[in-house]
């Protein structure tokens, strides 16, 4: 590919590619159809998802940014009419992104942008957002088969995410979503729709749970473990903090409004 830009999916059809896309250029998945990547792609430019479905399904390692870092933008340029609401980047195997790949949420149209783990664990780099969404991180959307999954975020620069972080939506089965926070920087999660139940581990830096708007919603649930040197900060939220907390030596938990 060299240093150019490759755009796939413009015909809004269904495609699958098992080869390797290499070079320094960027790749964009556009259109309302679906595109599956099953190979070990090594291009180093930004990968942008704009609509429809992008499915990552390499069973031998990462499908994107294999052996390296990079950046993924999860966008929706089509809005929420018809089936356009379901603009998603979905994992169909474990750890489909390379080493500490940053994930940025964006919604050019104001439509939903989804990141779906689908019963597979996934590690990413910095989590951020550009705009107001709606943005959704979840284990499953309407599927009954996925098991539990864990999202590990290695936050090395301060960032924030406001939106849904949940096990799943309607008919979502029993698969839960868990969150691990690594990295020395602060990650702020806010909004009234954070209700995943798989548990939370804070290994480093600060995880701030703030700006919640609904009593009984927007709280992390299940077992929360704060390891040595890490901080959990709960701020600016009405109602009760609902968690089972395990604190190990050297940790801190701070709070403002309960």
CB atoms within 10 A of CB 187: 25
- Are the C-beta atoms of 182 and 171 separated by less than 8 Å? no
3-state secondary structure of 115: strand
| Closest residue by Cα to residue 96 from 52, 65, 137 | 65
Q: Tokens in use for 187?
A: 């990650």
Spell out the per-residue pLDDT of the chain, length 258, in tens: 778 899 999 999 999 999 999 999 999 999 999 999 999 999 999 999 999 999 999 999 999 999 999 999 999 999 999 989 999 999 999 999 998 999 999 999 999 999 999 999 999 999 999 998 899 999 998 776 789 999 999 999 999 999 999 998 765 567 899 999 999 999 999 877 888 889 999 999 999 987 655 554 556 777 888 998 999 887 655 544 555 555 655 555 555 434
| Cα(154)–Cα(157) distance, integer angstroms | 9
CA-to-CA distance for 166 and 182, rounded, in angstroms? 19
Tokens 């060299």 belong to residue:
2
């Amino acid at each position: 590919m060299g240093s150019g830009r490759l755009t796939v999916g413009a015909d809004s059809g269904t495609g699958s590619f098992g080869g390797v896309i290499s070079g320094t250029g960027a790749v964009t998945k556009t259109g309302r159809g679906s595109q599956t990547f099953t190979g070990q792609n090594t291009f180093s430019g930004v990968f942008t998802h704009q609509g429809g479905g992008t499915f990552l399904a390499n069973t031998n390692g990462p499908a994107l940014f294999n052996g390296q870092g990079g950046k993924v933008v999860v966008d929706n340029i089509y809005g929420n009419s018809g089936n356009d609401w379901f603009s998603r980047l979905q994992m169909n195997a474990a750890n489909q992104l390379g080493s500490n790949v940053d994930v940025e949420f964006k919604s050019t149209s104001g439509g939903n942008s989804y990141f779906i783990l689908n019963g597979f664990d996934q590690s990413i780099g910095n989590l951020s957002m550009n705009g107001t969404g709606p943005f959704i991180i979840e284990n499953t959307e309407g599927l009954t088969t996925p098991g539990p999954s864990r999202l590990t975020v290695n936050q090395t620069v301060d960032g924030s995410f406001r939106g849904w972080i949940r096990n799943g939506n309607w008919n979502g089965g029993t698969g839960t979503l868990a969150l691990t926070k690594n990295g020395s920087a602060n990650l702020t999660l806010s909004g009234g729709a954070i209700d995943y139940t798989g548990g939370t581990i804070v290994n480093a830096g600060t995880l701030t749970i703030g700006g919640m708007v609904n009593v009984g919603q927007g709280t992390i649930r299940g077992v929360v473990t704060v390891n040595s040197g890490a901080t959990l900060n709960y701020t600016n939220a009405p109602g009760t903090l609902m968690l089972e907390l395990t604190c190990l030596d050297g940790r801190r938990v701070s709070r403002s409004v309960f």
